[in-house]
């Protein structure tokens, strides 16, 4: 299989800069996944946003949640995690923005599935979740 495609979920109000840094560094690292910028470029009705995001998540192999310090207010992240789980897309999180094991996690993301931001750790997590998701139908 080619490199797995990842959907990067983040709190747009508080962690957009972290998402840009993460995506940029991922492109220049040897981390075993690829991603596209699927962020909404403009506001849209909730139902339309949900339909678009659900379709995008369905085209990926895994969802990476960037866990910042303000996750309690990130309702979109919670919806993205729910969508991934409903489509059997494996999920793990990466701490950003000074968040750590004492930070609030979005609903649906288990603490044992969140790791510090190190590229070797992220590579290991990708490998692990891809092994768990091997029974998932290949996204188109």
C-alpha to C-alpha distance for 131 and 127, rounded to whole angstroms: 6
Tokens encoding 73:
């207010």
48, two tokens = 């339309």
- Mean pLDDT over residues 30-37, rounded? 79
- Residue percentage of the chain with pLDDT more than 70: 91
Looking at residue 29, its pLDDT comes to 74
Domain residue extents for the chain: 5-37+45-132
Nearest CA to 84 among 95, 73, 92? 92
Can you name the residues that pair with 114 across neighbouring β-strands? 93
Tell me the per-residue pLDDT of 79-98, one tens digit each, with 9 for 90 and over: 999 999 999 999 999 999 99
What is the rounded average pLDDT for all residues in the chain? 89
Contact 42, 57 (CB under 8 A): no
pLDDT per residue over 115-139, tens digit each? 999 999 999 999 999 887 665 656 6
The whole model's pTM is what?
0.91
Quick one: which H or E segment has residue 62? strand 62-67
Overall size of the chain counted in residues:
140
CATH architecture label of 5-37+45-132: 3-Layer(aba) Sandwich (3.40)
């Amino acid at each position: 299989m080619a490199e797995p495609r990842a959907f990067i979920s983040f709190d747009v109000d508080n962690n957009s800069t972290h998402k840009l840094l993460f995506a940029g560094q991922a492109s220049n690292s040897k981390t075993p996944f690829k991603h596209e910028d699927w962020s909404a470029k403009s506001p849209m009705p909730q139902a339309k946003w949900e339909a678009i995001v659900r379709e995008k998540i369905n085209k990926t192999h895994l969802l990476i949640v960037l866990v910042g310090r303000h996750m309690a207010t990130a309702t979109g992240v919670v919806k993205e995690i729910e969508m991934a789980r409903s489509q059997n897309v494996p999920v793990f999180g990466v701490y950003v923005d000074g968040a750590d094991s004492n930070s609030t996690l979005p609903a649906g993301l288990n603490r044992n599935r969140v790791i510090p931001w190190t590229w070797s750790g992220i590579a290991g997590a990708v490998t692990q979740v891809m092994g768990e998701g091997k029974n998932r139908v290949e996204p188109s």
